[in-house]
């Protein structure tokens, strides 16, 4: 009988201890803002919304910047505009630099990804950084996105 009473009291103590360990603490209250007017308080942030993204071919315009040597890198800034009617997800740009030889071969390059949804009509800038080599010739860009292919148009200014 004593063993049963001892075991049940140990179980009761363990249950009470576990309940206190897993109990949630009350969130700390932020200090009250001293506002001079009642409208000076900030509204709560709106919850994030799901954005439906494009599946298929995306229409993209881009303006390539002039490549510049910065330190030991060659830096190119691309301005890109989404002409599609839906957001493009995970836009990725690969830059390949070729040498001046015959036939030209790829000697360096860079890849940059835009991880946010690329909204319709939005203009973004991506900076490409490739190691500088003394015999750099021409460069080439390859665009892709998570939902399919990219239809490119190189322009001097956006529509």
**What CATH number did the domain enclosing 102 receive?**
2.60.40.1620
The parent domain of residue 148 ranges over 66-154
Q: Where in 90-135 does DSSP place strands (E)? A: 91-99, 106-114, 123-131
In a domain, 2, yes or no: no
The pTM of the full predicted model, rounded to 2 decimals, is 0.67
In a domain, 113, yes or no: yes
Question: For every one of its 159 residues, what pLDDT tens digit does the chain have, with 9 covering 90 and above?
Answer: 566 666 677 676 666 665 555 556 566 566 555 555 555 577 788 787 888 999 999 999 999 999 999 999 999 999 999 999 999 999 999 999 999 888 888 988 999 999 999 999 999 999 999 999 888 888 999 999 998 999 999 999 987
In a domain, 89, yes or no: yes
In a domain, 95, yes or no: yes
Distance CA 127, CA 112 (A): 8
Provide the phi-psi class of 152: left if phi over 0, else alpha when psi is between -120 and 50, else beta. beta
Our count of domains for the chain comes to: 1
In a domain, 14, yes or no: no
In a domain, 114, yes or no: yes
């Amino acid at each position: 009988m004593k063993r049963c009473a001892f075991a049940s009291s140990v179980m009761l103590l363990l249950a009470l201890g576990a309940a206190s360990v897993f109990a949630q603490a009350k969130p700390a209250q932020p200090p009250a803002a001293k506002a001079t007017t009642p409208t000076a308080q900030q509204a709560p942030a709106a919850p994030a919304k799901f954005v439906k993204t494009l599946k298929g071919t995306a229409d993209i315009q881009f303006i390539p910047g002039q490549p510049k040597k910065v330190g030991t890198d060659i830096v190119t800034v691309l301005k890109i505009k989404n002409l599609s009617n839906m957001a493009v997800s995970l836009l990725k740009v690969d830059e390949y630099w070729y040498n001046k030889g015959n036939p030209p071969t790829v000697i360096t390059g860079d890849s940059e990804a835009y991880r946010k949804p690329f909204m319709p009509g939005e203009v973004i800038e991506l900076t490409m950084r490739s190691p500088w080599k003394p015999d750099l010739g021409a460069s080439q860009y390859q665009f892709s996105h998570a939902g399919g292919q990219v239809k490119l148009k190189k322009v001097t200014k956006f529509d």
